[in-house]
Amino acid sequence: MNRRFRLATLERLRRTRVDDAAAALATARRALADAAAEHEALVAASRLCVVGAEAGAVSAPEALAGAGLRREVLRERAERQAAVVSRRRDEVAAALGSWHEARAALRAVEALHERHRVAVAEADARQEQRLTDEAALTAARRLRVLTAVAVPAPRAAPGAPPAAAAAADPTPDGGDAA
């Protein structure tokens, strides 16, 4: 079995794409937060113009007209900024979709890599079992050879008839096994 994972380059490439997509998502989220903060600031400034005019902080008709004009400009800028916030939300959604796609593609290759690791481990286990079985078989053969050489042939008891000695001898020729 080939020990090297052939899709390792693809896995690295997809991991890089996930990292790039995550960076793009973070950038889009920061841009959304900045746009939302600017929109809130414009809305708050527009409200201050209204509150200042209603509270009588501005008394001259020219000042009221200037406050109204300022409020109108701020309201228009806030509307434009609301459109920017909407675009930023769409960008965040697109970046999140790209990140999900890149992550799914990476997971597919990671699953293949895990299968490869399991296959390599199984092949290693089979090889180790073969070596263990071979070592056990060799040891059993040695033990059988040593046992056959080391154990003397049975002898008949003194005074026993010769037929008893032949019956006690396991070798068919009646001689020594070695």
Task: Note down the domain range covering 54.
Answer: 9-113
Q: Copy the structure tokens of residue 128.
A: 């180790």
What pLDDT digit, counting tens, does each position of 40-58 carry?
999 988 888 765 555 555 5
Identify whether 169 is part of a domain.
no
If you count them, how many residues does the chain have? 178
Neighbours of 106 (CB within 10 A): 21
Identify whether 50 is part of a domain.
yes
Identify whether 48 is part of a domain.
yes
Identify whether 175 is part of a domain.
no
Contact between residue 39 and residue 88 where contact means Cβ atoms under 8 Å apart = no
Identify whether 125 is part of a domain.
no
Identify whether 60 is part of a domain.
yes
Identify whether 18 is part of a domain.
yes
CATH number at residue 40: 1.10.287.1700
pLDDT at 69: 82
pLDDT at 178: 47
Q: Tokens 């200042």 — which residue?
A: 52
- DSSP per residue, 2-26: --S-TTHHHHHHHHHHHHHHHHHHH
Tell me how many domains the chain contains.
Answer: 1
pLDDT at 28: 97
Q: Give pTM, 2 decimals.
A: 0.62
What pLDDT digit, counting tens, does each position of 131-170 carry?
999 999 999 988 888 777 655 666 766 766 655 555 555 5
pLDDT at 160: 64
* Closest to 109 (Cα-Cα) out of 23, 16, 2: 16
59 alpha carbon, distance to own chain's centre = 68
Identify whether 178 is part of a domain.
no
